[in-house]
Chains A and B, each alone.
Chain A
Amino acid sequence: MKSIFGRMLMVLSPGGCIILLIAGLSTLVIIFRPLPGLEGQAVWIYTPRHAEIYKRELAQWNRLHPDNRAHLGLFEYHAFQRRLLSGFLAGTPVGDLIEVERNMIGPTFTGTFDDVGFVDLTDHLRDEGLLEQINAPSFSPWTSHGRIFGIPHDVHPVLLAYRADLVEAAGIDVSKIETWDDFYRVLSPLIKDLDGDGRPDRFLLNLSTSPLQAELIEALLLQAGGELFDGQKRPVLDSELNAHVLARLATWLVGPRRMCVDAPENTAAGDAMRVRGTVIASVMPDWLAGAWKQHMPTLSGKIKLMPLPAWEKGGRHTTVLGGTMIGIAKTAPDFEKSWAIAKYLYLSPQSAEALFRGICIISPVKSNWSLPVYHQPDPFFCGQKIGELFIAQAPDVPLRSSSPYNTLALEKFDDALVSLCDYATRENRYDAGELEPEARRLLGRAQADMERLIARNVFLASQP
C-alpha cells in the first residue's frame, strides 16, 4: 500500500507537490510572521526623501516619549492621493498625522468646511504664537474657508541656478543681470549650435509647456505678480498682467528669441541635458538644490545660485515652487498627542537642521534661520552659502491660492500658453506686445471655463 505522500506524488506530479509545499510554507510564514511594531500615531508621508529624515527624528522622539510613540507610513505619491481622498470622502482608514503636498490639498478643500478631513489648527497656531514664528506666506496654500489646516513644512524660496563653469568660461558677468530681459541679453551668446547642424544645442533656461513644468509656469506668474485666483478665490485668469506674462513666456519658448528648452526636473532625460550643458540655467527652489546634489554629483563645483531675474526693474527676485504641510486627521484619536508630534517633526531646530543637511529645505520657522547649518559654504555650489541665499529671499515669496480648483486653473493657463505658442508660430508673430491681445482672448476662454466649472459645485455654492 502506497503512503499518502506517494499517492499525492502520483496525483499531483513532483512539480505540483513542490508548488503545494511552497504555497503551504509561505502561508504559514505569513500567518506566523510577527508584524512590525505599528503602535502609536501613524504618520503618513508621500516621499522617500522625507522618510529618511523622519525615521531618525521619530526614533529619537519614540525614545524620549514612550507614552506617545509614532510610526511612519510611506506611500507612493499617486497611491497616497487616492488613499487620502478615500479616507476623507469614504471613511477608509487614514493616518493620524498626514503630510500633504500642495497638489494634493485641492480636492480635500472642494466640499464644505465640515467636509475637510483635517482638524482646523488656526486657534492652536494662534494660541501658541506659531502664526508669528512661521514665515507668513507659508500658510497660504493650507488656508481654506478662512482657516488653517496644517503646519507648513517649508518656505521654498526660489533662486536661479546656472552653469558657472560655462558662463565664466565665456567671460560673462552675471552681476549685470537684473531682469529677465537682461538675462536674455547677457547670456544669449551662449545659445549655440554645437554640432554644426544649423540648430542650437544649448539653451538658457529650462522651461516648456509640458504639464510636467506647469508649476514652474505658475511660479513665474506669481513672481510677476500675476495670480489665478483672487483673495476671495474667484478665478482671475484673464487679467491684463496674466496676459502680459503669457505673451512674454511665449516669446521665450518659440521664435527668434527662443531661450528655453524642455529639461524636466527629476527625470533622467532632463538630468542628462543638464549634465551635458544643453541648458544653462534652471529656476531652483531649495528642495531642488538637494535633489541636484543627489542626482547629479558630477555637476559639483560647476553650479552657482543667484537671485531670480525680476520681470521688471525693481521687481521681485524670487518666487515659490512646491510645498508641503502636515495636518492632523479628524479621525486621529488623541489630538494633543498628534499635535505634539507634528510640532516636533516640523518646527524643532533639530528637525530643521536635519532637513537642510539632508535635502536643503529651509525651515519655515524664522528663529531657526540663525542655525549654523544655514551659514556654511556648500562645495556643490562653488562654496556659496546657499542657506543664506535662500533665507534672504524667504520673506519675499509670493502668496498662493488654496483654491480646490488651482490645479485645473493652472492647467488652463498652461493650455493657453500652448495655444499662444501655436498662434505665434502660425502667424509668425514673436513680439510680446503683438501677442497680448491673443493671450487675453485665450485667457478669457479659460476664465469662462473655470467660472462654469466652479459654478456647478453645489456644495461650495451652499456655503455662506
Chain B
Amino acid sequence: MKPTSLRSYPAWAPWLFLAPFLLIFFAFTAWPLVQSLVLSFQQTYGPRRAAFVGLANFSFLLRDPLFWKALRNTTLFTFGSVLLQMPAALVLALLLNRPGLRGRILFRLIFFAPSLVGTVFVGVIFYLLFQAHTGIVNQVLHALFPSFDPEFAWMQDHVMSSLILAALWMQAGFGMIYFLAALQDVPAELIEAASLDGAGPWQRFRHIVLPEIRPVAGFVMLLSIISSFQLFELPWVMFNSGGGPDNRGLTIVMYLYENGFIIGDLGYASAVGWVLAVLLMLAAIIQRRLARKQED
C-alpha cells in the first residue's frame, strides 16, 4: 500500500484534530481564567451583582489578618507535611525494596491503601481519633503513659499537628509508590560495584541511591507542595466546616471558599485564587531552579 503524503491533507486538518482539546481548553480553562482575573477587580454579591473596585480586593487581602493567618497555616502545613511525608515515604519504599522481603505486595497495599480512602473519610476518622476525652489516640496514650493528659487537646491547641499527622497517614503511601518505582530503576551493577569497593549501606544510599532518585524526589516534593497549598477538605471536615479554634486550621483555599461561597463575594475569592496561583508558580519555579542547580 502506498503511504499517503502529508501534502494530501488540507491545511485545516490539524486544527480539526486539535479542535476537541482547544474547545475544552478554552471553555473550561482559558475563559474561566480570564473571567476570574476580571472578577478579581470587582466586588460581587453572587454572580449577578458586581461593582468594579480596582485593586481594592488585593489591598484588602494584604491587610486582612485572616489572610495572613491562612497563609501562615498553609505554609506551616506544607513544611510540616513535606518534611515528614518525604522521609516517611522514602523509608517505606526502602523497606519494601529490600531483596527477599516476603509479603511485599501485601505491605505495598497496606501502605498505599490510605491514599485510596477519600479525604472526607480521613477527616471524619481523624476527627474521632483525636477527640479529647473519647478519642482513641488519647485513650491509648493515657493507658500506655499514665502521665499523658487524656484531655490533650489535639483539635484545640494542636490543630496543625493533628492535620499534619492525618495528612501523613493519608499521603505517605502515595509518595512511597513513586520512590519504590525510582528505587527499582537504580542500576544494580552500580550498587554491586560500590559494595565491592567497600562502600557500606549508608555510603551506597548517600552516593548512589540518592542521586539516582533525586529527580523523582523533586517531583514528589513539588506534588506534595502543590497539594498542601490546595488543602481544603481535610481541615474542613475535621473542624466542622470552619477553620477550627482561633482559625488555627484555616487554609488559603478555605479562606477563598468562605469568601466566595459563604459570603458570596466571588470577586474577592478570585483575588485570593490569583494570589494562590502566583504562590504556587513561585514554588514551582524555585523547585525547578534548585533541581537544575543540583543536576549541574
Seen from chain A, the residues whose Cβ lies within 8 Å of a Cβ on chain B are 78, 81-82, 85, 88-91, 107, 110-111, 115, 197, 199, 208-212, 261-263, 268-269, 272-273, 278, 411, 414-415, 418-419, 449, 452, 456-459
Considering the complex, give the chain B residue whose CB is closest to the CB of A87. Answer: B46
Residue of B nearest to A78 (CB): B241
CB pair B134–A272 under 8 Å, yes or no, is yes
B-side contacts of A85, CB under 8 Å: 46, 261-262, 264
Q: When each residue 45-67 of chain B gets 1 if its CB lies under 8 Å from chain A and 0 otherwise, what string results? A: 11111010100100010011110
- Closest chain-A Cβ to B162's Cβ sits at a distance in Å of 13
User: Which of A211, A263, A456 is in CB contact (< 8 Å) with B244?
Assistant: A211
Please state if A456 and B132 are interface contacts (CB–CB under 8 Å): no
Contact of B247 with A by CB under 8 A: yes
Chain A residues lying within 8 Å of B242, measured Cβ to Cβ, are 211, 411
Contact between chains at B46 and A88 (CB < 8 Å): yes
Known: A82-B261, A199-B151, A211-B239. A261 touches B133 (CB 8 A): yes
Q: Which of B181-217 contact A (CB under 8 A)?
A: none
Total A-B residue contacts, Cβ distance less than 8 Å = 93
CB distance B245 to A115 under 8 Å? no
- Distance A269 CA – B130 CA, assembled complex (angstroms): 11
- Cβ contacts under 8 Å, A88 to chain B: 46
Q: Which residues of B sit under 8 angstroms from A459, Cβ to Cβ?
A: 43, 45, 49, 51
Contact (Cβ within 8 A) A89 B48: yes
Contact B45 A89 (CB under 8 A): yes
Interface membership of B150, Cβ < 8 A: yes
User: CB distance B263 to A110 under 8 Å?
Assistant: yes
Cross-chain contact A115 with B156 (CB below 8 angstroms): no
Chain B residues, CB < 8 A from A449: 64-66
Docked complex Cα distance between A197 and B64 (Å): 45
Query: Is B63 a contact partner of A452 (Cβ separation < 8 A)?
Result: yes
Alpha-carbon gap, A211 to B155, bound state (A): 11
A309 to chain B, nearest CB (A): 24
Q: Chain B CB within 10 Å — which of A85, A452, A457, A458 has the most?
A: A458
- Which A residues touch B113, using CB under 8 A? none
- Beyond the given pairs A90-B47, A199-B150, A262-B133, 15 more chain A to chain B contacts, judged by CB atoms under 8 angstroms and listed by A's residue number, are A85-B262, A89-B49, A107-B263, A111-B264, A115-B45, A115-B49, A197-B142, A197-B146, A211-B243, A211-B244, A212-B240, A458-B43, A458-B53, A459-B43, A459-B51
Residues B135 and A269 in contact, CB atoms below 8 Å apart = yes
**Count the B residues whose beta carbon is within 8 Å of the partner chain — how many?**
40
A residues in contact with B240, CB < 8 Å:
211-212
**Are B262 and A107 in touch, CB under 8 angstroms?**
yes
Residues on the B chain within 8 Å of A82, using CB: 261
Beta-carbon contact of B60 and A89 below 8 Å = no
> Which residues of chain A come closer than 8 Å to B296, judged between CB atoms?
none
For the complex formed, measure the closest distance between the CB of A447 and the CB atoms of chain B, giving whole angstroms. Answer: 13
Cβ of B36 under 8 Å from chain A: no
Task: Give Cα distance in the complex from A269 to B129, angstroms.
Answer: 11
Whether the Cβ atoms of B246 and A89 lie closer than 8 Å is: no
Closest to B66 in A: A449
Within the complex, what minimum Cβ distance (angstroms) separates B222 from chain A?
32
How many angstroms between the C-alpha atoms of A89 and B149 in the bound complex?
48
CA distance A346 to B103 in the complex (A): 64
Q: In the complex, A458→B239 CA distance in Å?
A: 31
Given A78-B241, A211-B244, A278-B133, also A111-B63 (CB < 8 A): no
Give 18 A-B contacts (CB < 8 Å), ordered by A residue: A85-B262, A107-B264, A110-B45, A110-B264, A111-B49, A111-B264, A115-B49, A209-B245, A211-B239, A211-B240, A211-B243, A211-B244, A211-B245, A269-B128, A269-B131, A278-B133, A411-B242, A449-B65
- Bound CA–CA A273/B146 (angstroms): 20
The 6 A-B pairs at the shortest CB distance, nearest first, are namely: A89-B46, A418-B246, A269-B134, A111-B45, A415-B246, A269-B131
Contact indicator B156/A208 (Cβ below 8 Å): yes
Tell me, in angstroms, the Cα distance from A110 to B134 when the chains sit together. 39
* A458 touching B51, Cβ below 8 Å: yes
Contacts of A197 in B (CB 8 A): 142, 146, 150
Pairwise interchain contact A209-B156, C-beta atoms closer than 8 A: yes
